[in-house]
Amino acid sequence: MSKGYTYVTKHTSPNKNKGRIGGKPTGITVHHWGGQGQKHANVVSWLTDKRAGTSAHYVASSGLVTCIVDPDDTAWHAGNRNANRRTIGIECRPEMSSGDFETVAQLIANLWKVYGKLPLYPHSRWTSTACPGKWGSELSRLRKRAEELLGGKASKPSAPAKPKPKPKPSSKLDEDGKLGEKTAKAYQKHFGSTQDGKLGHNSWKAGQRKLGTPADGKISKQSRTASSVGYAITQGWEYTGPNSSGSTFVRALQRLIGAKADGVWGPATTKALQVFLNKG
């Protein structure tokens, strides 16, 4: 059968079992051979060494396929006894160049001519592994290209799907009443302190100076704990129990942002602050 690649059969791996339990293979498992930059020949050398304790049926890269275990025998490739017995293993070059992709598709099309249209599986289906790397997200395109080749279509392989651009994160704050890092940084920007997302003495002092209240760097006499208001609060919070009288600075802040001016900071104050800062 026409291959379209150099086909090498002079290497044989000892890491196999003769024959297959259950007869002919029922699938193809796609692997990559790990780290980038490795040479095809070195991978073949390792997988045909008894010390490796592992193998595959084929090692494939651009224009070159090396068969190291007969596909009618059981290669030790999947880390799963059932998958070893039932599937053909192809070790692919991890860089997955267009040439690598075309050669693997041609190999699959040729295997289909012998064994029927076997399904393709990623190695990760059988065991917990990052293998087959880039190949895992391209199995549908690989299958499509093999189908084209099986049908005699000589057209160029389809290009990989372009990843959808990630939406730009919104600069607006969630008006959820939770005092997290993003809200803290917006507060710090407004009042002119370091924008590190951590509200402590310096952040409180910056706000106090701007609003003309005593600049002691503290949020005093609070009915809520700092952790219940928001994880961005790291210093300067004084919890004095339920029904505390509140802070002069917090009252001034509440008046600025249109919240109830009771001096006690809670979710309603945070939400009003977020609305205020979003209006910018």
In the three-class reduction of DSSP (H, G, I as helix; E, B as strand; rest coil), residue 157 is classed as coil
| Model confidence band, residue 168 (pLDDT cutoffs 50, 70, 90) | low
**For residues 57-71, average pLDDT:** 96
Q: Is residue 44 within 8 Å of 68, Cβ to Cβ? A: yes
Write down the domain spans for the chain. Answer: 6-150, 181-279
Residue range 68-86, pLDDT digits in tens: 999 999 999 999 999 999 9
Residue range 169-219, pLDDT digits in tens: 678 999 999 999 999 999 999 999 999 999 999 999 999 999 999 999 999
Give the CATH fold of the 6-150 domain. Lysozyme-like (3.40.80)
In the three-class reduction of DSSP (H, G, I as helix; E, B as strand; rest coil), residue 21 is classed as coil
Residue 207 CA: distances (Å) to CA of 66, 122, 232: 70, 56, 16
Count Cα neighbours of 28 within 13 Å in the Cβ-side half-sphere: 26
In the three-class reduction of DSSP (H, G, I as helix; E, B as strand; rest coil), residue 23 is classed as coil
| Model confidence band, residue 164 (pLDDT cutoffs 50, 70, 90) | low
CB pairs under 8 A, 24+ apart, for 218-221?
218/247, 219/247, 219/249, 219/250, 219/265, 220/247, 221/245, 221/246, 221/247, 221/263
Residue 78 CA: distances (Å) to CA of 8, 14, 23, 158, 203: 22, 16, 18, 28, 56
**Is residue 158 predicted with pLDDT exceeding 60?**
no
Which one, of 47, 146, 147, 156, lies nearest residue 106 by Cα?
146
Respond yes or no on whether the N-terminal peptide bond of residue 169 is cis (omega within 30° of 0): no
Residue 276, number of CB atoms within 10 A of its CB: 18
Residue 22 is predicted with a pLDDT of: 75
Phi and psi for 4 in degrees, rounded to 5? 80, 15
